């Protein structure tokens, strides 16, 4: 089995294109706040949030404190650590800066609505973390963005 999160790790989860960058930036800002960086040395001024918070599926060494994943709670069962799940409305998932012809866009939309899109059905992904937050509120924080 690959990467094993530690109980001190924070794992961020969001459905693709639904607030991942925002969640990473917010988490980094909160964690870095206690380090008293001068305003011109804050990591977010020189690095993209995706460069600061790696995907845990791609991490080979468990030395990171904050990691990111698009996995459902079911797919990430039994790891240690704190999970932060960002909940956004399905309508806010976006296709960003991609020029697509109409047939490809229609195919992607159908796939999203049918639940066959990359990480499975949107609502199943969301509900897996909602249920996890009810079962283990000390480890799973479910954040709703409106």
pLDDT digits (tens, 9 = 90+) for 28-52: 888 887 776 666 778 888 888 888 8
Q: Is residue 2 part of a domain?
A: no
Mark whether 70 is an active-site residue.
yes
The total of other beta-carbon atoms located within 10 Å of residue 38's CB is: 6
Q: Is residue 5 part of a domain?
A: no
Q: Is residue 3 part of a domain?
A: no
3-state secondary structure of 142: strand
Among 81, 83, 19, smallest CA distance to 50 is for 19
Q: Is residue 81 part of a domain?
A: yes
Which of 37, 47, 70, 96 does the annotation list as catalytic? 70
Q: What is the CATH number of the domain that holds 101?
A: 3.40.50.300
How much is the pLDDT for 97? 42
In angstroms, the CA 3 to CA 62 distance is: 7
How much is the pLDDT for 2? 58
Q: Is residue 91 part of a domain?
A: yes
How much is the pLDDT for 71? 60
Give the global pTM. 0.61
Q: Is residue 17 part of a domain?
A: yes
Mean of pLDDT values over 133-138: 86
In total, how many domains does the chain have? Answer: 1
Q: Which residues pair with 82 in a beta bridge?
A: 10
Q: Is residue 94 part of a domain?
A: yes
- Its domain, for residue 124, covers 10-144
Q: Is residue 4 part of a domain?
A: no
pLDDT digits (tens, 9 = 90+) for 46-104: 888 888 887 766 655 555 566 656 565 555 555 555 555 555 544 444 444 455 566 77
């Amino acid at each position: 089995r690959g990467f094993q999160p530690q109980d001190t790790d924070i794992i961020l989860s969001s459905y693709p294109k639904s607030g991942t960058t925002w969640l990473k930036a917010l988490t980094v800002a909160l964690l870095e706040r206690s380090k008293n960086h001068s305003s011109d040395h804050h990591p977010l001024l020189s690095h993209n949030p995706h460069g600061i918070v790696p995907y845990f599926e791609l991490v080979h060494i468990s030395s990171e404190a904050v990691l990111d994943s698009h996995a459902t709670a079911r797919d990430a069962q039994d790891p240690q650590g704190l999970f932060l799940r960002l909940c956004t409305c399905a309508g806010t998932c976006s296709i960003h800066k991609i020029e697509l012809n109409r047939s490809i866009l229609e195919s992607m939309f159908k796939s999203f609505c049918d639940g066959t899109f990359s990480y499975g059905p949107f609502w199943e992904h969301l509900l897996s973390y909602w249920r996890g937050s009810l079962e283990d509120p000390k480890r799973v924080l479910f954040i709703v963005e409106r």
